[in-house]
Protein backbone atom coordinates (compact mmCIF):
# COMPACT_ATOMS: atom_id res chain seq x y z
CA UNK A 1 0.00 0.00 0.00
CA UNK A 2 2.76 2.45 0.90
CA UNK A 3 4.78 1.48 -2.14
CA UNK A 4 1.78 2.17 -4.39
CA UNK A 5 1.69 5.72 -3.02
CA UNK A 6 5.35 6.49 -3.72
CA UNK A 7 7.04 5.38 -0.49
CA UNK A 8 10.07 3.12 -0.12
CA UNK A 9 9.80 0.86 2.93
CA UNK A 10 13.14 0.36 4.69
CA UNK A 11 11.90 -1.78 7.58
CA UNK A 12 8.74 -3.11 9.22
CA UNK A 13 8.86 -4.32 12.81
CA UNK A 14 6.27 -5.73 15.18
CA UNK A 15 6.26 -4.27 18.70
CA UNK A 16 5.67 -6.42 21.76
CA UNK A 17 5.25 -10.15 21.96
CA UNK A 18 2.57 -12.64 22.97
CA UNK A 19 3.19 -12.49 26.73
CA UNK A 20 3.32 -8.69 26.81
CA UNK A 21 0.07 -8.34 24.87
CA UNK A 22 -1.79 -10.86 27.04
CA UNK A 23 -0.52 -9.10 30.18
CA UNK A 24 -1.70 -5.74 28.85
CA UNK A 25 -5.12 -7.14 27.97
CA UNK A 26 -5.59 -8.68 31.43
CA UNK A 27 -4.53 -5.53 33.26
CA UNK A 28 -6.89 -3.46 31.09
CA UNK A 29 -9.68 -5.85 32.02
CA UNK A 30 -8.83 -5.64 35.73
CA UNK A 31 -8.71 -1.84 35.52
CA UNK A 32 -12.13 -1.64 33.86
CA UNK A 33 -13.55 -4.09 36.39
CA UNK A 34 -12.15 -2.61 39.61
CA UNK A 35 -11.47 1.10 39.10
CA UNK A 36 -13.83 3.62 40.69
CA UNK A 37 -14.12 7.40 40.87
CA UNK A 38 -12.19 7.37 44.15
CA UNK A 39 -8.50 7.98 43.44
CA UNK A 40 -7.37 6.42 46.74
CA UNK A 41 -9.16 3.15 45.98
CA UNK A 42 -7.64 3.21 42.50
CA UNK A 43 -4.13 3.58 43.95
CA UNK A 44 -4.78 0.52 46.12
CA UNK A 45 -6.14 -1.45 43.17
CA UNK A 46 -3.07 -0.54 41.14
CA UNK A 47 -0.68 -1.57 43.92
CA UNK A 48 -2.48 -4.80 44.79
CA UNK A 49 -3.58 -6.10 41.39
CA UNK A 50 -2.18 -4.28 38.38
CA UNK A 51 1.46 -3.72 39.36
CA UNK A 52 2.14 -7.36 40.38
CA UNK A 53 0.53 -8.61 37.18
CA UNK A 54 2.65 -6.25 35.06
CA UNK A 55 5.77 -7.28 36.97
CA UNK A 56 5.02 -10.97 36.41
CA UNK A 57 4.34 -10.31 32.73
CA UNK A 58 7.64 -8.42 32.39
CA UNK A 59 9.58 -11.27 34.00
CA UNK A 60 7.79 -13.93 31.93
CA UNK A 61 8.38 -12.00 28.71
CA UNK A 62 12.11 -12.11 29.41
CA UNK A 63 12.11 -15.84 30.28
CA UNK A 64 9.70 -17.31 27.72
CA UNK A 65 10.44 -17.48 23.99
CA UNK A 66 9.45 -14.45 21.92
CA UNK A 67 6.37 -15.25 19.84
CA UNK A 68 5.26 -12.59 17.38
CA UNK A 69 1.87 -14.15 16.58
CA UNK A 70 0.19 -11.54 18.76
CA UNK A 71 1.73 -8.06 18.92
CA UNK A 72 0.87 -4.43 19.73
CA UNK A 73 1.63 -2.49 16.56
CA UNK A 74 3.58 -2.59 13.33
CA UNK A 75 6.17 0.16 12.99
CA UNK A 76 7.06 0.92 9.38
CA UNK A 77 10.07 3.05 8.48
CA UNK A 78 10.49 4.47 5.05
CA UNK A 79 10.84 7.54 2.90
CA UNK A 80 9.07 9.23 0.04
CA UNK A 81 10.62 8.85 -3.43
> Over the stretch 6-60, which tens digit does the pLDDT of each residue have?
888 899 898 888 899 999 999 999 989 988 899 999 999 899 989 999 999 999 9
CB 18 within 8 A of CB 69: yes
The dihedrals phi and psi of 45, each to the nearest 5 degrees, come to -60, -40
The C-alpha R_g of the chain, in whole angstroms, comes to 18
**Would the pTM of this model clear 0.75, i.e. be above it?**
no
The confidence score (pLDDT) of residue 67 equals: 82
User: What is the predicted pLDDT for the residue at 59?
Assistant: 93
Amino acid sequence: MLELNGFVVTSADKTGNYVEVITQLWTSYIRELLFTHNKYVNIGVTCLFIFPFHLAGFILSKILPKRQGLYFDTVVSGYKK
